[in-house]
Structure 1
Amino acid sequence: MLKQKAFMLLCSAVFMLLSQSLQADEARTSSFQVLVEGQGKAIILIPGLMSDQRVWQQLATALKPNYQLHLINLAGFAGTPALSTPVKLTEVTAELADYIRHQQLQQPVLIGHSMGAFLAFQLASSYPQLTGKLIAVDGLPYLAPVFSRDSATTVAQMAPQAKMMQQYYQQMTPAQLAASTEQGMAIQVSRPEHAAIITAMAGASDPATVGAVIAELLTTDLRSEVHKIQQPVLLLGAGGAVASEIMRPAVQALYQQQINTISQARLDFNWQARHFMMWDQPEWLLAQITDFIKE
């Protein structure tokens, strides 16, 4: 009888440990969902603010015959359920690192669009041994200079504006979020069918999450961290919404300044593509990505 009780206690303890381990695994990946497609070298694709895997659909179709794609959807964006407390990008980065370890991915290529590119820069800076090549699709280590048009802009200068913007978005309804997104569509994409997808994704996003992430992007400057990246980096700039050719050198210099400390980094601009260049210039983007991965 004593042996039986001891065995039952041991089984109970093991069950509790396994349950705690499973809960920990769930918690680690709770800030995003993943769809895996294809076979081959691993590529992690991270969408931008208020977007999901739909932005990569055309690119993924072309890549998945030769690569294993890990398509990330962040909690609170484009219909992926929001967390009770909005996601923090620093936590997403740590969970992505855990995901790479648990899936035993061997230095996966990182491809990020806009906010997703910021996450890729943060992941590659924080965990340089885990990550492979990085392709930033119109996304930067520090967002604020894009708005200020000044590379000298600091986090301290942006803090009041970030707080104000977070409060502004928190008060929105999803319908208002969609309407606000639609108003700025001219710089996002060229074709109406793609504009409709972007608007729909915004309308399915959680305004509190959007506000919190925007505030974090405006007050997190990775420029002092990206020198830690050990793999080659390709930054692709979308210049299709630049008002005139006269402005191009200044825009290009602003982007270049953000990657100057990375030992193996280059910048290429497409002056026809708008922000969602995977829709505006899909063939060009695919060629850039495949050539860079194979180099």
Structure 2
Amino acid sequence: MRNIQLTTNNKMYHVGLLFLAIVFASFNTAAEVSQSKSNLFDVTVIGQGSPIILIPGLMSDGSVWQHIAKELSDKHQVHSISIAGFAGTPPVDNFSLEQVKEQLINYITINKLKKPSVIGHSLGGFMGFLLASSTPDLIGKLISVDGLPFIAPVFTRTNDSTVQSMASQAQYIRNMYQNMTPQQVAAQTQQGIFIQAKSQAAQQKIVQMALASDPKTVGESIYYLMSHDLRSQVENIKSPVLLIGASGAFTQTSQQQQVEVLYKQQLDSITKAQLIMTTQDRHFIMLDNPTWLLKQINDFLEG
């Protein structure tokens, strides 16, 4: 392990999660400076200053970042991504997260964004690790909100998991979503909603985003996450990395400690990595506790 700093916040510890796979309602239009579209994602841009790219998670759109984006736009130019097929953003044929990555790289290059910071939630955190490790000279600081370089250990609870050991499960999930309706996806999300967020309003938002998501796109995305292990690749990352993990969905201290160790291990090969765990919040930290999350983000960006 190389220079991993582990920060704990006892006051904010007791609610969170580590469920990454199954799981901006409106911006102030006066602050919006531009809006553009890519084949695989929509982008809303607000504010001025150093660039930040916000990437949501599975079955989410940019609205999950609404509060965070508005606050960050006081000092930064915030580019909020909504990926095709998630939460009402129109799906596309032959969807691929690999192509999403390539189009994000093109977006950064074409718009001449100088070392943008990337903040991603869940799948968006994985995408941040993917961007920063494949194009380390292009990406600035990286913040992952409850997203890991490899998702499989979320299910197995061990970092001994490999792409090969998860191959059959990945294919099963892919096939399952091929035959699901949006209503079935929403019902499945509802069954595990306590893992995702605390408040009823946040839970309802998450279920509604799932209902508005394209099942095939969801299945392809989970398959990609389970079939791509970035743990050996993230050593290429040159910029500082902050992983903010949530373990509040677990009620036992031993389980929360296990999550913390699992997260920490996935940062082992990154030169400048910091881990902050909260046991006070669940997977959608930005919905559970936006004020606390914003403080962690600002402290890291300004540090």
Q: What TM-score results when the alignment is normalised by the length of structure 1? A: 0.89
Matched, 1:101 2:109: yes
1:206 to 204, 209, 214: 214
Q: Whole-Å Cα distance in 1 between the matches of residues 91 and 108 of structure 2? A: 23
Aligned residue number for residue 270 of structure 1: 278
Matched, 1:280 2:269: no
Task: Please report how far the alpha carbon of residue 248 of structure 1 lies from its aligned counterpart in structure 2 after TM superposition.
Answer: 2.2
Matches within 5 A, 1:102-181: 102-181=110-189
Matched, 1:197 2:186: no
Q: Whole-Å Cα distance in 2 between the matches of residues 269 and 161 of structure 1? A: 28
Q: Describe the superposition over 1:102-146 as per-residue Cα deviations: whole angstroms up to 9, x where unpaired.
A: 000000000000000000000000101110000000000000001
Aligned residue number for residue 289 of structure 1: 297
Q: Whole-Å Cα distance in 2 between the matches of residues 174 and 211 of structure 1? A: 12
Q: Whole-Å Cα distance in 2 between the matches of residues 108 and 46 of structure 1? A: 12
Aligned residue number for residue 41 of structure 1: 50
Aligned residue number for residue 54 of structure 1: 63
Q: Whole-Å Cα distance in 2 between the matches of residues 176 and 249 of structure 1? A: 33
Task: Please report how far the alpha carbon of residue 171 of structure 1 lies from its aligned counterpart in structure 2 after TM superposition.
Answer: 0.6
- Runs of 4+ in structure 1 over 2 Å off: none
Task: Please report how far the alpha carbon of residue 242 of structure 1 lies from its aligned counterpart in structure 2 after TM superposition.
Answer: 1.5
Q: Is the 8 A contact 2:248 2:256 kept in 1?
A: no
Task: Please report how far the alpha carbon of residue 228 of structure 1 lies from its aligned counterpart in structure 2 after TM superposition.
Answer: 0.3
Q: Whole-Å Cα distance in 1 between the matches of residues 207 and 250 of structure 2? A: 22
Q: Describe the superposition over 1:183-226 as per-residue Cα deviations: whole angstroms up to 9, x where unpaired.
A: 11010000011111111111110000000110110111000100
Task: Please report how far the alpha carbon of residue 243 of structure 1 lies from its aligned counterpart in structure 2 after TM superposition.
Answer: 2.6
Q: Whole-Å Cα distance in 1 between the matches of residues 122 and 292 of structure 2? A: 18
Task: Please report how far the alpha carbon of residue 177 of structure 1 lies from its aligned counterpart in structure 2 after TM superposition.
Answer: 0.8
AA aligned to 1:96 is L
Q: Describe the superposition over 1:274-294 as per-residue Cα deviations: whole angstroms up to 9, x where unpaired.
A: 000001111110000001000
Q: Whole-Å Cα distance in 1 between the matches of residues 277 and 250 of structure 2? A: 11
AA aligned to 1:225 is Q
Aligned residue number for residue 32 of structure 1: 41
Q: Is the 8 A contact 2:48 2:75 kept in 1?
A: yes
Q: Whole-Å Cα distance in 2 between the matches of residues 95 and 54 of structure 1? A: 21
Count residues with an aligned counterpart: 267
SS of the residue corresponding to residue 271 of structure 2 reads coil
Q: Is the 8 A contact 2:157 2:262 kept in 1?
A: yes
Aligned residue number for residue 69 of structure 1: 78
- Structure with the bigger RCO (C-alpha within 8 Å, sep 6+) is 2
Q: Whole-Å Cα distance in 2 between the matches of residues 74 and 150 of structure 1? A: 29
Q: Describe the superposition over 1:148-194 as per-residue Cα deviations: whole angstroms up to 9, x where unpaired.
A: 00100010010100100111111111111111111110100000111
Q: Is the 8 A contact 2:202 2:288 kept in 1?
A: no
Q: Whole-Å Cα distance in 2 between the matches of residues 57 and 248 of structure 1? A: 28
Q: Is the 8 A contact 2:120 2:127 kept in 1?
A: yes
Task: Please report how far the alpha carbon of residue 260 of structure 1 lies from its aligned counterpart in structure 2 after TM superposition.
Answer: 0.7
AA aligned to 1:83 is V
Provide structure 2 residue ranges, at least 5 long, that are not aligned to the other structure: 1-36
Provide structure 1 residue ranges, at least 5 long, that are not aligned to the other structure: 1-27
Q: Whole-Å Cα distance in 2 between the matches of residues 112 and 290 of structure 1? A: 15
Task: Please report how far the alpha carbon of residue 90 of structure 1 lies from its aligned counterpart in structure 2 after TM superposition.
Answer: 1.5
Q: Whole-Å Cα distance in 2 between the matches of residues 168 and 113 of structure 1? A: 24
Task: Please report how far the alpha carbon of residue 89 of structure 1 lies from its aligned counterpart in structure 2 after TM superposition.
Answer: 1.4
In terms of fraction of residues, the more helix-rich structure is: 1
SS of the residue corresponding to residue 60 of structure 1 reads helix
Q: Whole-Å Cα distance in 1 between the matches of residues 301 and 83 of structure 2? A: 25
RMSD of aligned C-alpha atoms? 1.0
Aligned residue number for residue 21 of structure 1: none
Aligned residue number for residue 216 of structure 1: 224
Query: Which structure has the larger Rg?
Result: 1
